[in-house]
Amino acid sequence: NAGVTQTPKFQVLKTGQSMTLQCAQDMNHNSMYWYRQDPGMGLRLIYYSASEGTTDKGEVPNGYNVSRLNKREFSLRLESAAPSQTSVYFCASSAGQGSLRGYTFGSGTRLTVV
């Protein structure tokens, strides 16, 4: 089925370790997004890529980096994981910024930093 695929689904890291969360979409969407979800905090935008070749900071970018590898793929990197980054991470895509069809979300990566 068409959609947004995130890997891995679960991950446990030790403080200070690094890792990259992968995201790929097969809907030929131009824009991609990374969110984190914490209890009671809703969905907070970390970084987004309005189109291939561009990336911008969202609401909570500190401690993260992103790469828009090509039109399909948008990765999120934690260089030195901290317990505060324990969260569920969602990747999403849309036809473009301001697309009236909203976003399509992946099923999430559950990250625990110990």
Partner 1 sequence: GQQLNQSPQSMFIQEGEDVSMNCTSSSIFNTWLWYKQEPGEGPVLLIALYKAGELTSNGRLTAQFGITRKDSFLNISASIPSDVGIYFCAGQNYGGSQGNLIFGKGTKLSVKP
Interface residues with partner 1 (CB under 8 A) are 4, 33, 40-43, 45, 48, 50, 56, 58-59, 90, 92, 96-108
Alpha carbons within 13 angstroms on the beta-carbon side of residue 113 total 17
| Block residue for tokens 């690094």 | 18
Cis, peptide link before residue 8, omega less than 30° from 0: yes
Could you tell me which residues are beta bridge partners of residue 76? Answer: 21, 66
* Residue 64 to residue 66: CA distance in whole angstroms: 7
Least Å distance, CB 82 to partner 1, is: 23
Residue 5 CB, nearest approach to partner 1 (Å):
11
Confirm if 1 and 56 have CB atoms less than 8 A apart. no
Angle at 106 between CA 1 and CA 20, to 5 degrees: 120
Min dist CB 47 to partner 1, Å, is 11
Q: How far is the CB of 110 from partner 1 (least distance, A)?
A: 9
Between 18 and 97, whose beta carbon lies closer to partner 1? 97
Rank residues 14 and 39 by Cβ distance to partner 1 and give the closer one: 39
Q: Would you say 22 or 105 has its CB closer to partner 1?
A: 105
Q: CB-wise, 42 or 53, nearer to partner 1?
A: 42
